Amino acid sequence: AQKRYAGLRDLPATSVCGTTIQLYMNAGLMADLPSLASSGAEGVGLFRTELQFLTRTHVPRRGELAALYAHVLDNAQGKPVMFRTLDIGSDKVLPYMKPQDEPNPAMGWRAIRVGLDKRGVLRMQLQALIRAAVGRPLHVMFPFVTEMHEYEEAHRLLMEQIAREQRLGHAMPSDVRVGAMLETPSLAFAPKKFFAMCDFISVGGNDLKQFFFAADRENERVRRRYDSLNTSFIALLEQIVRRCDEAHVPLSFCGEDAGRPIEAVTFAAMGFRRLSMRPASIGPVKHLIRRVDLSALRRVIDDAREAGEPNLRPIVTDWLARQ
Ligand code: PEP
Ligand code: MG
C-alpha cells in the first residue's frame, strides 16, 4: 500500500478547491524517525516523550534526554517537531513511580497534573529540550490541559527554565513556540486569554472523544460505540476551530482519527489545516484530500447538520462516492 502512494510523497495535500492541508506524523521512538523522510510528512506534529520514560528502570538523566532529543531534531533536518511533555498517569505507571490507587485513572492524576505537582521531572525535561534545540526552533506542547491556569503555570515554568539556561551560559534555541493539547471538552470553552497565550493548539482526539462521549478509550465494549463524525462531536470541533481562528492560533488534530481518510477530509472541511497521524496514513489521506473539493464538502456537512442529521458518516461517504 505504501508503494501505491509513493508518487504522492513530494506533492502537497492540496484539495480541488485549492486549500492546502499540512500533513504531519506522530512519533515517539527513535525507530519512527526514518519515516519522516519516507512518508513525506512536513514534520512531527506529536512526539510522545513518555515512551523513553516507560522503557527505563529509572528516571532518565537530563544529559541522556538532551542527547536523545537532539538526535530527533538532527533527524528532522529542519522540519518542526512538536515535543509533548511527559504524559503519564496512573494507567501508564512508570516502574519507578509509586503506583496510585485511583478508581478512574484516565480522569485522575496524570500528564500536566503530575508535572505541576512534581515539578522536578518536568523542569528537568524542559531543560533537556532547551539544551537539545541549540540554535534551532523548539516546539513544546503540554498534554491534558483542562483549564487556563494549568497552561499558564506550565508556560511560566518553561520561561523560567529558559532564563536559567541562559544564565548558565547555554546556547539558546533560535525560537521557542509553546502550545497546548486540547483533549478535554472544558478547554474549548476556556477564556480568550488562554487561546491568546498559545502559539499553537493540537486536538488530542483520542482523549477528547473519550471525555466528550464519556466512553473509556481502553474499554472494548464502548470504545467504538461513538463516532467522531457524530454531529455533536463535529459541533465541538467547529467551536474549537472558531476559537482558534478568532485568536489566530494555528490548529492541528493529532488523534488517531486524523489518519482515517473520511475523518481527515471532514476535519479539513471543518477548518483544520494541519493533521498529524501515523506515517502510513499520510499517503491515503493525501490521496483523498487531493480529490476533494473541501468547500463543497463543507456545504454538504452544513446542510446535513441543518437538516438535523445525527451522524455525518453516511452523508460524507455517499458524497465521496459520487465525486
Ligand atoms: C490523543 O489523546 O488524541 C493523543 C494524541 O494523545 P494520546 O493518544 O497519546 O493520549
Ligand atoms: Mg491524549
Query: Cα of 197 to ligand 2 centre, how many Å?
Result: 21
Counting from 1 in the atom list of ligand 1, the atom nearest the Cα of 255 is 3
The predicted model gives 228-248 an average pLDDT of: 98
- The residue whose grid cell reads 512534581 is 118
Mutation test residue for ligand 1: of 181, 240, 251, 276, the one with most atoms within 8 Å of CB = 181
ipTM rounded to 2 decimals = 0.99
Counting from 1 in the atom list of ligand 1, the atom nearest the Cα of 206 is 3
For the cut 80, the answer to whether the pLDDT of residue 1 exceeds it is: no
- Which of 198, 219, 201 is CA-nearest to residue 210? 219
Going by pLDDT thresholds of 50, 70 and 90, the confidence category of residue 4 is confident
pTM of the model as a whole: 0.96
For the cut 90, the answer to whether the pLDDT of residue 92 exceeds it is: no
For the cut 60, the answer to whether the pLDDT of residue 33 exceeds it is: yes
For the cut 70, the answer to whether the pLDDT of residue 91 exceeds it is: no
Query: Cα of 295 to ligand 2 centre, how many Å?
Result: 30
Counting from 1 in the atom list of ligand 1, the atom nearest the Cα of 203 is 3
Residue 108 C-alpha cell reads as 485522575
Quick: pLDDT tens for 43-71.
999 999 998 998 888 999 999 999 999 99
For the cut 60, the answer to whether the pLDDT of residue 135 exceeds it is: yes
Q: How far apart are CA 93 and CA 100, in angstroms?
A: 8
Residue 95: what pLDDT? 81
> In percent, how much of the chain has pLDDT > 90?
89
Quick: pLDDT tens for 147-200.
999 999 999 999 999 999 999 999 999 999 999 999 999 999 999 999 999 999
- Which of 210, 208, 274, 272 is CA-nearest to residue 238? 272
- The residue whose grid cell reads 503530575 is 114
Quick: pLDDT tens for 290-312.
999 999 999 999 999 999 999 99
- 3-state SS, residue 81: strand
Q: What is the mean pLDDT of the chain?
A: 95
Residue 2: what pLDDT? 62
Pocket of ligand 1 (CB under 6 A): 46, 48, 87, 183, 204-207, 254-255
Residues 141, 143, 149, 154, CA torsion sign: negative
Query: Cα of 17 to ligand 1 centre, how many Å?
Result: 30
- DSSP letters for 174-233: SEEEEEEEE-SGGGGG--HHHHHH-SEEEE-HHHHHHHHTT--TT-TTTTTTS-TTBHHH
Query: Cα of 170 to ligand 1 centre, how many Å?
Result: 32
Going by pLDDT thresholds of 50, 70 and 90, the confidence category of residue 239 is very high
> In percent, how much of the chain has pLDDT > 70?
99
- Cα 71 to its chain centre, rounded Å, is 21
The predicted model gives 103-123 an average pLDDT of: 94
Paired with 106 in beta bridges are none
Query: Cα of 282 to ligand 1 centre, how many Å?
Result: 18
* Strand ranges for the chain from DSSP E: 13-14, 20-27, 44-48, 81-84, 137-142, 175-182, 200-203, 251-253, 274-277
SS3 content of the chain, % helix, strand, coil (to 5): 50, 15, 35
